[in-house]
Amino acid sequence: MATYEDFVKIDIRVGKVISVEDFPEARKPLYKITVDFGPEIGSKKSAVGCRDVYSKDQLMGRQVLGLVNMAPKKIGPFFSEFLTLGVSDENNKCILIRPDREAPLGSRMF
C-alpha cells in the first residue's frame, strides 16, 4: 500500500498547452504538445493520446495536469518529458484531467 511519503515524491503540476502538433511517426494516434508549467519548471513536451477526443484547437490554451518529475520516455523519434494525466471515457478514449477553474501555472497538486 502506498504511503503519504510515497505520494509526495510524485510532482503533479498545472500547465497550459502552448503548442500542439501532429505526430505522424507514432504507431497510435498521438499529438505532440508543449506545456508551460510556469517560471519554476518552464515548458516541457509530451506525447498525448487524445486525438480521438480533442482537436488541436480544443487543446490550445487548455490547462492540464502533468507528472513533471519522471524520466523522459522515448516514443519513436520523440522524447516525452512529462506524463499528461487523463482518464478513460466510456469508449476507452483519453479525457484529460484539468482543474475545474483556472489555476496558477506550476501549481502543485496536493
pLDDT digits (tens, 9 = 90+) for 9-58: 999 999 999 999 999 999 888 999 999 999 999 999 999 999 999 999 99
4-96: CATH number: 2.40.50.140
Average pLDDT of 89-98?
A: 96
Question: Distance of CA 29 to CAs 47, 48, 51, Å?
Answer: 10, 9, 6
What pLDDT was estimated at residue 87?
98
**Would you kindly state where each structural domain of the chain is located, as residue ranges?**
4-96
Measured between alpha carbons, how far is 92 from 97 in angstroms, rounded to an integer? 15
The arithmetic mean of pLDDT across residues 55-75, rounded, is 97
Q: What pLDDT shows up at residue 62?
A: 98
Q: pLDDT band for position 108 (50/70/90)?
A: very high
- On average, the pLDDT of the chain sits at 96
Q: What percentage of residues in the chain have a pLDDT greater than 70?
A: 100
The per-residue pLDDT for 42 is: 98
Mean pLDDT within 54-67: 98
For 27-40, b/e burial (b = at least 16 CB within 10 A) is: eeebbbbbbbbeee
pLDDT, position 13? 98
